[in-house]
Structure 1
Amino acid sequence: MTSSSLHRRLGLGDAVFIGLGSMIGAGVFAVWAPAADAAGTGLLIGLAIAAIVAFCNATSSAQLAAAYPTSGGTYAYGRAELGPWWGFIAGWGFVVGKIASCAAMALTFAAYAAPAGWERPVAIAAVIALTAVNWFGVTRTAGAARVIVVISLGALAAAVTAAFSTSAAPGWFSAETLMQGGGYGILQSAGLLFFAFAGYARIATMGEEVRDPRRVIPRAIVIAFLVALAVYAVVAVTVLSALGPAGVAASTEPVADAAARSGWAWIGVVVRVGAAAASLGALLALIAGVTRTTFAMSREGDLPRLLDRVHPRWGVPHRAELAAGLVAVTLVALVDMRGAIGFSSFGVLLYYFVANVAAFRQRRDARRYPAALQIVGATGCLVLAATLPWQSVVGGVIVVGAGVLYRVIRLRVARQD
């Protein structure tokens, strides 16, 4: 029988890079087209709204992580502060939403790295390879995240420089383009762009693997969030000014297309390498986060207990990683990237709604941030979830309902035993 506790091996820098690896890759090469389609240049307002909601969520997560330095993130926090059902809803929303994110990132990687017609096989291979990396220990995950983040930021810097070396698209920023999506379109773009900021959850879910977690996790969450926000703001202005809102909405590779306007022959290769690296970094961190929440839920009996084992040599929840990898491979074979982004946002917004409510309920001696931030965060999560594309909302409600039904049946069976 193997142990069911994890090993504390990560420091502040490791935690920051794991969070950045998820956030930088989670949307910077993938999310601009659907956001521009919803709101045009108004996606800049959507980005600001998403950032405000995400900041509230980040502070709630940091406050909770300081009090509960364990695996599972908001699943564990919700159980402790609000009760088992709240924890389950958060954990289930996170697991299903982030496995959808795994599929989106694998497909983004393949869009930049695979020959035409080979996208899905290459995406499946990426999921298998990075599941194997995670299997061999969290320090390898952190080391790979550092390399990937440096490559991604270097490629983005080159792309931004190339795009700004040419004249801007005429009329890309005006009162008309800023409001062309209307209030609903701007809120929908904010919900889609929220997908980009959710990576700091990876840090909180790894609470059992961080040294001095009460100090390190809150600092790592805030640092990673602020760096990612700066990167996204610069890239948003870059792609809009280079391509215009209609051009961004129509592009499958907006960052690459914006850089290509420079005419620099080599820039396309650099952007593709950076996009592939960023997507792999996000996928690597996503797999780690999903498996830690799955591990925590299994340990409490909310998912099958056979998934709560820790590898005796590598110190990782290897059965949970194998299960998450298999589900992600299945989704890669079946879904498209835009649908995966919307569905992921729904699940993660539900997760952070619970985080904000749990942080609001904490005692005064555990409070690090004003309660108003948690109220704004919880309200924002509900509004953004409701204004996502209707397919994402309907799919999310169905899957969450299936999870609730599963837990009801499990509890009834347990009572009968």
Structure 2
Amino acid sequence: MPARKALPWLIRDTHQALVDIANRSGGGAVRVGLGVSSAYLVTNPDDIQRVLEQADVYPRPGDTALWRSVRKLVGDGILAEGDTWTASRRTLAPLFRATRVDALVGTMAEAIEGSAGRLDEAAATGTPIDIGAELSRMVAAAIMRVFFADRVSVDSALRIMAAQEVIVTSMAPRLLAPFVPWWIRLPGDRQFHAAVQAIDDILLPVLREALQRPGDGDDVLSTLARARTADGHALSEKQMRDDLVSMVAVTTETTYVVLTWLWPVLANHPHIAARLYDEIDEVVGRNPVRADHLPNLAYTKMVLQELLRLYPAGWIVPRRAAAADVLGRVRIEQGSTIVLSPYATHRMSSLWGPNAEVFDPERFAPGREGAEERHRYAYYPFGGGKHRCLGEHLFNLEAILIVATLLSRFRFTLTDPALPGTRVAASLRPARRVKMILTPLERTAAR
């Protein structure tokens, strides 16, 4: 697709343009002109599988606009390649083991319950809340306790998350103009660098304190402070800094970004909201959420799976062809930029039917006809291959805890019931803030 057609389309409505291109191509790789450069949009699940599972052929591209921005924030570490990535993954992956995360559900639930309690006054007075901001606080309270052993305060975490918000949104000009070199200033660059510095100003003192007193816990900071390289040396401060910043992003970003979309979706699908309320009322009642509630919240899980389908936080995934290859029937030249888009693939009518863009949790009902035949990469909100997101299991538990906690305490009314548009940023964000008024539900004593 030549740049004269692609660029106006992408600039006008980037996300919908990707969906339309994917549908028109039938999922085949499409070369999209971007002015002085071009990229292949790859949306077919077979091709996606090859790109993600052949990481040596399709590594992360350090010189694309998105990845240059990411590396300016997180440096080298869990989001790098080669030996650096291997070392970081070896150090950090044990923190995300399912058995460890499962054991922390009670602690996360208590932190989320405490954060939800802060909303009682706003609910009692009918004061509108910014649900994105409140979700940030809930996530921060839970994650700082279970992954950082409270070494990073909730207020500090919120400042970090506010800086992350600046970072992912200030990257928009570079996402829309990927051919512009970094030495040419674009709108948003100054805010980007200031936000990165703000994160360092918060985290580096905490990191240095952990080096002085590493402790014997299995929190992120203690783990990094005790970690050793393959030759037995302690990690450099830069390596620790890069891994620490990556971990803060991995453990906070996806949950609150995805869950911000839930409330306008429910407001526009009252029958789905009613069924969700019924399940939470039956399983949880007006009690604090506990670990043993989670297996019985099956419909809640289906709602979240469908939310991830239509609103994946990681909506664009760049790769670079390290060698010539063929995807489908399209020859890919060495050095070509490859763009995967879960947002586009998850909305393709050839994969999800004529109502692919309709919110329908029944797509994920156990035993749903045709679900077993669905290609594994028709749905990949957490990526795939060796770089599959470490935080997937954490999201699946934490998101259910947050939704069940809020809906066991409140009902809500949006101040603007319209479904927001999407905003071009490094992660999929609503084009406006989502504000709502809470109605309190009568609470009962914990069982």
TM-score w.r.t. the length of structure 2 is 0.25
Q: Name the structure, 1 or 2, with higher relative contact order (CA <8 Å, separation 6+).
A: 1
TM-score w.r.t. the length of structure 1 is 0.26
More strand by share: 2
More helix by share: 1
